[in-house]
Amino acid sequence: MLSSEGKDESFFISVKKGGKARDFIMRKVCASDMKHNLAEMKSHVLEEISKVSTSEELDSVRVRYLGRKGEISVLLKHIGSLAPEERPEFGAAVNALREQVADAISRRKDELDKLALEEILHRDTIDISLPGEVYEIGGLHPLTKAMREVASVFSSLGFAAYESREAETDEMNFVKLNIAPGHPARDMQETFYLSDNTLMRTHTSPGQIRGMLSLKGKLPVRFIVPGRVYRRDPTDASHHPVFHQVEGLAVDIDVTFKELRGVLSAFMKRFFGQEVSTRLRPSYFPFTEPSCEVDISCMFCKGKGCSVCGGSGYLEVAGAGMVHPRVLVNGGYDPGKVTGFAFGFGLDRLAMLKYGIDDIRLLYGNDRRFLSQFRGL
């Protein structure tokens, strides 16, 4: 077809040849074919859009028609080559087609997105009828509980907590505590040796020396030493090769035995209850002079005598005494100027009495049936 200016007004347009989009071929047509072709193209494209099932397919349809070199875009570019009087109508028709196609694509995109979401929601459905995993709530070990309580009571009585070491030298564990080699008191504590002169501490008392040395002569000295100790005792209901002690030490000008008694009795009442009374019995330790054993009234029979206290009405819980002058010297203090008291008790025994545990091995067995009873106590 020739325009009035004699220009060739024909241009290429995709015309459907077969059943599929790819069958569109570019061939020269003239403007009069356009209306028909646009209508055919529209129904074809809309059908194609309705048939795609993934957003990738949809995108390739979009590129094929609306992309920069897409078929509808090509049509638009050719408007200029039509006869001027044909341009408005044709331009409007192509633009309308483009808008309808773009519209149809965006609607289809929404549909596909919705379908994809529905599929995800369906696939990821949680079956709330399945039994869930049960996470048990943990609790503090009875020894940890007892240790924290002991530390807190002593803190309120003015004692700091000093953490000493578990592997010790023979020197600290014995010699500095006035227990020379060959001293019979060494037999009181069956020792795990690591080498000739290193060992696992048999008591927390070497913490007295280390604590004092770290204070470098400063006053007052007032600390506890909580921690594990080790002894080669045969295991039974009241013996375990690892157990816990809490050492206590106070050094100052004019520290008295009376104060020792007051501190011990205050502690026992705070830890076990106001009805518990404390009794001191003369005893012997190489590092204290005078020395005593500390008993408390049996909380099970209220002092009347039962199987727990062996009928005596009292339970032995600690050793104590006034710090031996030689120990003060070994800690860097002058026994001519200061005095001190020391005590050491078995934390396991305290915890057992407090929580009614009759076998020390339960504290080390990690049996959850046992441990779970202390949850929230």
Least Å from the CB of residue 203 to ligand PHE? 3
Is 288 one of the binding residues for ligand PHE (CB under 6 A)? yes
> CA 375, CA 150: separation in Å to the nearest integer?
18
Q: Are 349 and 317 in contact (CB under 8 A)?
A: yes
Least Å from the CB of residue 303 to ligand PHE? 24
CA 23 to chain centre: 65
H/E stretch holding 366: none
Least Å from the CB of residue 131 to ligand PHE? 51
Least Å from the CB of residue 318 to ligand PHE? 7
Q: Are 318 and 344 in contact (CB under 8 A)?
A: yes
Nearer to ligand PHE, 164 or 205 (CB): 205
Nearer to ligand PHE, 34 or 200 (CB): 200
Nearer to ligand PHE, 250 or 320 (CB): 320
Which residue is at the shortest CB distance from ligand PHE? Answer: 344
Least Å from the CB of residue 283 to ligand PHE? 8
Q: Is the N-terminal amide bond of 335 cis, ω within 30° of 0? A: no
> CA 18, CA 124: separation in Å to the nearest integer?
43
Nearer to ligand PHE, 97 or 318 (CB): 318
Nearer to ligand PHE, 67 or 290 (CB): 290
Nearer to ligand PHE, 142 or 321 (CB): 321
Which of the residues 145 through 204 are near ligand PHE (CB under 6 A)? 203
Which of the residues 8 through 37 are near ligand PHE (CB under 6 A)? none
Least Å from the CB of residue 345 to ligand PHE? 8
Q: Is 289 helix (H, G, I), strand (E, B) or coil?
A: strand
Q: Is 279 helix (H, G, I), strand (E, B) or coil?
A: strand
> CA 285, CA 287: separation in Å to the nearest integer?
5
Is 255 one of the binding residues for ligand PHE (CB under 6 A)? no
Nearer to ligand PHE, 70 or 344 (CB): 344
> CA 230, CA 201: separation in Å to the nearest integer?
6
- Pick the closest to residue 233 from 273, 269, 272, 202 (CA basis): 202
Residues 6+ positions from 102 with CB-CB distance below 8 Å: 66
SS (H, E, C) 300-344: CCCCCCCCCCCCCCEEEEEEEEEECHHHHHHCCCCCCCCEEEEEE
In the set 90, 159, 230, 285, which binds ligand PHE (CB under 6 A)? 285
Q: Is 52 helix (H, G, I), strand (E, B) or coil?
A: coil
| Binding-residue total with ligand PHE (CB under 6 A) | 11
> CA 258, CA 156: separation in Å to the nearest integer?
19
Residue 137 structure tokens: 């709530």
Least Å from the CB of residue 247 to ligand PHE? 6
The CA-based diameter of the chain, rounded to the nearest angstrom, is 135
Binding mask 201-220 for ligand PHE (x = CB under 6 A): --x-x---------------
Least Å from the CB of residue 150 to ligand PHE? 15
Binding mask 307-346 for ligand PHE (x = CB under 6 A): ------------xxx--------------------xxx--
Interacting residue ranges for ligand PHE, rule: CB under 6 A? 203, 205, 247, 285, 288, 319-321, 342-344
